[in-house]
Amino acid sequence: MRPDTPADHTTEAERLLRTAGQYPEDREPLLLRAAAHLELAGERERATTLYDDLLAAEPGNPLLIRSLKASNLWEYGHEAEARAIIDGVRRARPEEPAPWEIVAETLEAHDELEEAEAAFSEAAGMLVLPGEETSYGLQSLLSGRHRVRRMLALPHDAWDTLADRLHTAEVPLDELHDPKRLWSLGSSDPAELQAEITRLRSELGSYRTALSRPFPVAVLHWPEPELDELLAAYPELEAEYPTYTAHLTDIEASLRELAASGTPNLGIVPATVPSYEAFAASESSTPANPALLPQYTTTLAARGRATPWPPARTAPCWCGSGRTYGDCHGAD
């Protein structure tokens, strides 16, 4: 169950901090998630401390951490420091979309719309390359740029048109990002209010990439030799995995269903029997308990072990068949 109250977020942050102590090789993604939960709990100073700890340890993605730190600082009154960090991130010109999007959304959240549009456009000019497939992160960045430009009443350009084309939700981006639509929230007409609630629910699915606040939603994948070993050792789990082919089909179907519902940042985590048995022991449980599988999946995802889904159609399929995704599980 996802955390709901500030106390739940604090509890989850403490769990992640303990897990980071058990798995120091995965410290960075675990502490990032813990910091995000502390922010949601209102414990922003503790979150800043975690960001500082990460930056002091030569992290793998310092620009992402700096952008998250700036966003957090601005939320509890440290505007000048946040602006200085944002300027530094922009000068560094990150080579991935997440830091750009966090910086731009931070500016947008504090009504710096012109600067937000400029940051989104800098990122698009650097990262959106003609003729290349647009990743999920770039799609989210282009959608954010579209939203800010809509609020600034700027005319559509080629990147806005691309954002429209990539957007697959029922409500078009132009309608989704119409500033006037929020006025209807003050309406006394139940039908009008319900229509706006539907639009807002659609927006929630694509408003941020999960990398902006890294909460990956992942599905467990047992490679065939590992699944054979698992079922030989724990036949109680055969109801969960009747055949290897069914297991692969269920993975793709589950991810497509999540994507259709608007869930962002989906991933697949590879499982191994020794890792699963070690996890069961750490939870004082038996590996034969099927209720342990979702917890194992969440822990692997929190440790940064998830591979983003879907892969590009021309990339190798996630199942390991050796075929491209478009010719394998990505086929219509």
Hey, what amino acid is at 196? Answer: E
- Is residue 246 scored above 50 in pLDDT? yes
The DSSP-derived string for 189-239 is -HHHHHHHHHHHHHHHTTSS-TTTS---EEEEE--HHHHHHHHHH-GGGGG
Higher pLDDT, 293 or 208: 293
- Is residue 84 scored above 70 in pLDDT? yes
CA 251, distance to chain mean position in Å, is 18
pLDDT score at 208: 42
| Res. 52 pLDDT band, cuts 50 70 90 | very high
What distance in Å separates the CA atoms of residue 308 and residue 258, rounded to the nearest whole number?
A: 13
Higher pLDDT, 141 or 202: 141
pLDDT score at 207: 45
Whether residue 50 contacts residue 30, with contact meaning beta carbons closer than 8 Å, is answered with no
pTM over 0.75: no
- Is residue 121 scored above 90 in pLDDT? yes
In tens, the pLDDT along 162-219 reads 999 988 777 788 887 877 665 555 666 777 667 766 666 655 544 444 444 455 688 9
State mean pLDDT over 22-45. 92
